[in-house]
Amino acid sequence: QLFRNKGIEILVYGRPLLNASSIDIIKAHKSVALHEENKLRLRESYPFVEAINKMDLAPARIDVGKLAYNYLYLGQANDLSIEQYLDKELTAESRENSDQKSQDVVLYGFGRIGRLLARLLIERAGPNAKLNLRAIVLRPSKGGEDLEKRASLLRRDSVHGAFNGSISIDKENNVIKANGAFIKVIYAKSPAEVDYT
């Protein structure tokens, strides 16, 4: 909900909780003991997530694990409530991140590396994304059904496995829709032939 509505990605000591299962969240909290003297419990970090949800912040990546640990175990509370502590710690960061603009990306080619890059860009798409995949430039194909073939290659890769999300095509507009993102497929003999406006 934080990521969809506000573009805020929650981490626990560097481990992202976006699309994480219950077990992944528990493992992320247990991994804190590898870095610190004490382990961090879910019930200790959850009030921080609730407080962040109530705050008006710009899109950001916030490590709730480190914030909660510093507040609870390293004495950084200084008689502040969780809300006051988060306001002090996050306000400056959210102002710095609010001016950052995202960059549109056009991939040249859709081989193994191009598909891997496309997957990474699509998985990280959202309000907080700094790079947004907008188009893919390909050489014209000899046969038809090229768009379906490209979508199929993105959907299932022999090395990286199945794509985590939904993929569909819009033949009329020459678009691959991946997790709601529209990716225009442009056919050209060379990248210089394409009008990017």
What pLDDT sits at residue 125? 77
> What is the average pLDDT score of the chain?
86
pLDDT band of residue 59 (cuts 50, 70, 90) is confident
Q: What is the pLDDT of residues 6-34, one digit of tens each?
A: 778 899 999 988 878 899 999 999 999 99
Q: What is the pLDDT of residues 105-144, one digit of tens each?
A: 999 988 889 999 999 888 877 766 778 899 999 888 776 6
The percentage of residues in the chain with a pLDDT greater than 90, rounded to a whole number, is: 41
What pLDDT sits at residue 94? 59
User: Spelled out in words, what is the top-level CATH class assigned to the domain 103-193?
Assistant: alpha beta
- Alpha-carbon distance of 87 to 155, in angstroms, equals 42
Domain with CATH 3.40.50.720 in the chain: 103-193
What pLDDT sits at residue 50? 95
- Alpha-carbon distance of 54 to 195, in angstroms, equals 44
- Alpha-carbon distance of 86 to 183, in angstroms, equals 38
Question: Longest Cα pair distance anywhere in the chain, in angstroms?
Answer: 70
